[in-house]
Structure 1
Amino acid sequence: MSRGRWRDMAAEELQQQYSPSRWARRLRGDAAVRAHIEAVTAGTQRARAGTRSSLHVPYGEADGERLDLYFPAEPSETFPAFVYIHGGYWQCLRGIYLCGHSAGAHLAAMVLCTDWTEFGVVPDIRGAVLVSGLYDLEPILHTYVNDALNMSWEVAQRNSPMLCITQAVPAAAACEVLVAVAQHDSPEFRRQSQEYSQALRSAGWSVSLLDLATVDHFDIIEKLSEDTYILIQVILNMIARG
């Protein structure tokens, strides 16, 4: 399915393609979203109970600009930072590893295409895990999602990772990118993941595509709380190589 294929879709089909809850295996609609929130909330509570943490650390002035920091159980002078960005259609010094889900994967991808020289810094981003993400925002303009976002075409173009991929410089080439997609994601989500990974590879980035069987848009990330989950193993191996 080519990048322009979505233009041929009827409005209802496009709405369905970009509504992950309609593709969930276990539940449908709002029930799938509620179950996902319950699952990730329970995982967060387990993490807080089992590790040392510093919660709601501000990184900006707005109420929503907060970070939750979790530290390893064993004291160490050096350890990698793993940054997770949650999804929700943007409404909801050590080596750094990014991980984003859905709209969070879009934000992590935007970090990869940022020209950091403008800010006088070169962050040591060694890996990025992009899970069931959106990399071309133009189709979103024609769905219910844009009712709240009110994006213009220009804003969608400027903020589409697919359209701002740069040729990998040595620092970027050393960053390992994993694009993961669920078997039961919608065809449009799957297409975007496949085409974005191909575009990164063509630009010289170190990238791999992981197509995860049996999972959908929600449990692909919920299962990160399971030690034996293949995506957890891939992430730990990535960090070990870095």
Structure 2
Amino acid sequence: MGTWRDMTKEELEKQYAPSRWSHRMDKEVVIEAHVRAVTEGTRRAQATMQTLLHVPYGGNDGEKLDIYLPTDPSGAFPLVLYIHGGYWQFLSKEVSGFIAPPLVTQGIAVVAVGYDVAPKGHLDVMVAQVRRSVAFIVQQYSKIRSDCSAVTLSLPREVAWRNSPILGVTAATPARKACEVLIAVAQHDSPEFHRQSQEYFQALRSAGWRVSLLDIADTDHFDVIEKLSQRGYILTQVILNMISRA
């Protein structure tokens, strides 16, 4: 297979449609199952944990956070900031608390970020909102020990390039080397998702960043995230280990 520049529109659409690569379910069913899993997981988390819901970090309706706190939030504690996916078009912070239980029980706070998805949100707006959410968390919760673990779109090429992570890679300074980057890709993601993950990994490593690439077996684009609700899941364990080293 050549690069994305060599693909037809139909080939590109297939590469960037994760549901078409799932080996578990039909492409329509796997999306419905994913939404159901993350929704039910979030309901369970909110029913059993100390939360601060719909905390505004900006002036727009979509600029709110859901915060899942450890049992004793009086001291300093690590924090995982979760920015939901959904092809910039759907999902929300309201269904993003499912990852909290295995982290909160280990004394780690989880913050689910809300932002305006398309068509209401423009990609530049989304990026600005996420940046504001990070700044808000750092300023508002100074005791939190933050860890660096982290179509209908009307998406012009210049906007995509301006917000592309790989085009924004800069050399790692001594301070930046303290940030450990983990790139995770599902076994049953598309070849294009694998290529981009590998290229981003290589770009960061070449720039001197501490970076690792994890190809997670027996997962697709959906359950690779859903399983974060499980403490024994390999990606959950990697995140916990990264935090313990910080």
Conserved in 2, the CA contact under 8 Å of 1:80 and 1:96?
A: yes
Long gaps (5+) in structure 2: 91-107, 118-122, 132-137
Whole-Å Cα distance in 1 between the matches of residues 77 and 171 of structure 2? 29
Name the residue aligned to 2:14.
16
1:96 deviates by 9.6
Conserved in 2, the CA contact under 8 Å of 1:172 and 1:205?
A: yes
Name the residue aligned to 2:46.
48
Deviates more, 1:4-13 or 1:208-217: 4-13
Whole-Å Cα distance in 1 between the matches of residues 110 and 88 of structure 2? 20
1:238–1:181 distance in 2 versus 1, CA, 3 Å? same
- 1:180 matched to 2:178? The reply is no
1:53–1:125 distance in 2 versus 1, CA, 3 Å? closer
- Look up the equivalent residue of 2:205 and give its one-letter code: R
- TM-score, length of structure 2 as denominator length: 0.76
Which of these residues, 131, 148, 151, is aligned with residue 127 of structure 1? 148
Conserved in 2, the CA contact under 8 Å of 1:82 and 1:96?
A: yes
- Look up the equivalent residue of 1:156 and give its one-letter code: A
1:221–1:185 distance in 2 versus 1, CA, 3 Å? same
Long gaps (5+) in structure 1: 115-120, 130-146
1:98 deviates by 9.1
1:33–1:162 distance in 2 versus 1, CA, 3 Å? same
SS at match of 2:149: strand
Percent of residue pairs identical? 58
Which of these residues, 171, 191, 203, is aligned with residue 167 of structure 1? 171
1:29 deviates by 2.3
- 1:154 matched to 2:175? The reply is no
- 1:234 matched to 2:238? The reply is yes
Which of these residues, 84, 87, 90, is aligned with residue 86 of structure 1? 84
- TM-score, length of structure 1 as denominator length: 0.77
Conserved in 2, the CA contact under 8 Å of 1:125 and 1:175?
A: no
SS at match of 2:65: strand
Aligned residues: 207
Name the residue aligned to 1:133.
none
Whole-Å Cα distance in 1 between the matches of residues 109 and 72 of structure 2? 19
Name the residue aligned to 1:196.
200
SS at match of 1:127: coil
Whole-Å Cα distance in 2 between the matches of residues 66 and 7 of structure 1? 38
- 1:223 matched to 2:243? The reply is no
Cα-Cα RMSD: 2.9
Name the residue aligned to 1:26.
24
SS at match of 2:148: strand
Could you report, residue by residue, the CA deviation over 1:9-59 in whole angstroms, capped at 9, with x for unpaired residues?
Answer: 122111100001111222222221111111111111121122100111111
Whole-Å Cα distance in 2 between the matches of residues 57 and 67 of structure 1? 5
Whole-Å Cα distance in 1 between the matches of residues 200 and 239 of structure 2? 19
Whole-Å Cα distance in 2 between the matches of residues 53 and 97 of structure 1? 10
